[in-house]
Amino acid sequence: MSAFSLHPRLAADTWPLGQLAHSHLLLHRNAAVRWFILVPETAVLDFLDLPEPLRGALIDECARVAAYIREEPRFTRINFAAIGNLVPQLHLHVVGRHPGDPCWPQPVWGHLATDHSYSATEVATIRDCLIQRIGLTPNC
């Protein structure tokens, strides 16, 4: 397989945070909801087509990210999806939701009109927490 390359749309819409054992972890730039994206290094396009060991490992990584999101009491729901209609590169969404967020109860996809950006300091704080709590290896 050739060197890993992130799809341009994912690169434009996210902050790169680092790597987990089986995926790159990104933070969506829109801070209106807590939205993480995990991108495995694979040519496979559909999550359900992954070999079982990798599929299970990725679910475990998503569950660890969800546990981190739940540490903030306001996030009462976790949305999880592997859609890929606009970006063909396999990627998994883990999104913290709560009643009263900008698109509640609708899904965030196509309904998130609010555009609140993270500061570099906020991104660094989230990255540091993920390093400590879920074993994220930061990007150099």
- Which domain CATH number covers 44? 3.30.428.10
5-32 mean pLDDT:
96
**Residue 119 in domain:** yes
- Cα torsion through 13, 133, 90, 123, rounded to 10: 10
Q: Which domain holds residue 90?
A: 8-138
pLDDT one-digit tens code per residue, 44-75:
999 999 999 999 999 999 999 999 999 988 89
Structural domain count of the chain: 1
CA distances (Å), origin 67, targets 35, 77, 94, 105, 110 = 13, 11, 10, 21, 25
pLDDT one-digit tens code per residue, 81-106:
999 889 999 999 999 999 999 999 99
**Residue 3 in domain:** no
Residue 138 has pLDDT above 60, yes or no: yes
Residue 33 has pLDDT above 80, yes or no: yes
